[in-house]
Amino acid sequence: MLVIVAPGQGAQTPGFLAPWLADPTFATRFGWLSTVAGIDLAHYGTEADAETIRQTEIAQPLLVATGLIAALELFPHPADAFSLIGAVAGHSVGELTAAAGARAITAEQAMVLVRERGKAMAQAAAVTKTGMTAVLGGDRDEVLAAIDKHGLTPANDNGPGQIVAAGTQEQLDAFAEDPPAKARLVPLSVAGAFHTEHMQPAVGHLANLARSVSTHDPRTPVISNRDGHVVHDGRDLLARMVGQIASPVRWDLCLETMSDLGVTGILEMPPAGTLTGIAKRALKGVETFALKTPDQLDAARDFIAQHGEASMIETSPTWRMVVSPGKGTFHRAEAASGAETFEPGATIGEVASLRDSTTITAAHGGVVVEWLVEDGDLVSPGQPLLRLHPEVGL
């Protein structure tokens, strides 16, 4: 099982784009997305210094455009990807890369959204002096308790031994003077407290824009930052990405879902290294590939061939599919038993795990073609539960 991941802000380094732009095809495609974003991304990816590309409104479009065009280099025939990729995920802004790669939104829509996302988050960050500090090591419960004690938010939970605290500078200073035991604090060079309540104004702006974005159900399962759930509804995925701006990134839960899926290989899109580094620590025995430069493309394709396996969505019957968001036991709703049709949004049951219980709905509604699981069955992330045929007018 292959999972492809896209990094978030902070992965960029000065000049990282130069070797990629040496390819005329890459340069032409990249120029198109730069035009959509209204930013000279080629300049920022080759000539700008670290301080300049640290700016939120520059870093975010730069990362998304790079990931999307590199994916076209990796898969010259994009349809081939769907028969090889088990799932995709992106860290923070990387979710836009993942969503476009899974065909939930177009590349152009992703670039408009990331342009506005970066600008809105930069404006929100300018209101109050805020920041982020990585907490490395320490006991997880003690680290979370210390973060809460100082009024901070665990904005990124990246797995064992790495949680990022975010809040006002005063809160971070107090936290530095009273750190959790056996933990090392590393202040991050970012513009503000991302994925906290301080970013709420940006959520409102993106939510307004999102109303005009047409979506499709992803062709490949997308693992959501919000809770690690597999998402197979385009509107839900878009809403999650908008809300995520002011909510913590639960990459630890994304990693759990990858493990539940049976991942054997993780390939990180450029500028790669951050997420594969986390995966090496959290998912022992899973092979990783950090795609950094175009001279690695042939090796990356070999890695894909070794681990590639179509997702259950791709290999299951078509029509409209309701899938499980996570691992657990499926319990069919009493009202769903014997039902021949479902209205849009109707509850069909729930998936219960030791961690939580998630209500499952038929987002689009339709005529029941086939139940693919029985009440009480154990299910995995992204597993099809119910196949529906659209009713006329639905």
Q: Which residues carry out catalysis?
A: 92, 195
Q: Are 363 and 235 in contact (CB under 8 A)?
A: yes
The tokens describing 15, both together, are 């000049």
287-290 and 265-268 as β-strands: parallel, antiparallel, unpaired? Answer: parallel
**Beta carbons within 10 angstroms of residue 277's beta carbon:** 15
357-362 and 328-332 as β-strands: parallel, antiparallel, unpaired? Answer: unpaired
Q: DSSP string spanning 54-118?
A: TSHHHHHHHHHHHHHHHHHHH-SSGGGGGGT-SEEEESTTHHHHHHHHTTSS-HHHHHHHHHHHH
The tokens describing 146, both together, are 């210390």
Q: How far apart are CA 170 and CA 45, in angstroms?
A: 33
Q: What is the gyration radius of the CA atoms in the chain, in angstroms? A: 21
Look up residue 282 and give its amino acid: A
Tokens 């950094």 -> residue: 292
Look up residue 72 and give its amino acid: L
Helix pair angle (24-37, 56-74), 10° resolution = 140
Q: Which strands make up the sheet holding 378-379, listed edge to edge? A: 357-362, 346-352, 328-332, 378-379
Look up residue 4 and give its amino acid: I
List 359's β-bridge partners, or say none.
350
Look up residue 236 and give its amino acid: D
Report residue 269: phi and psi, to 5°.
-75, 155
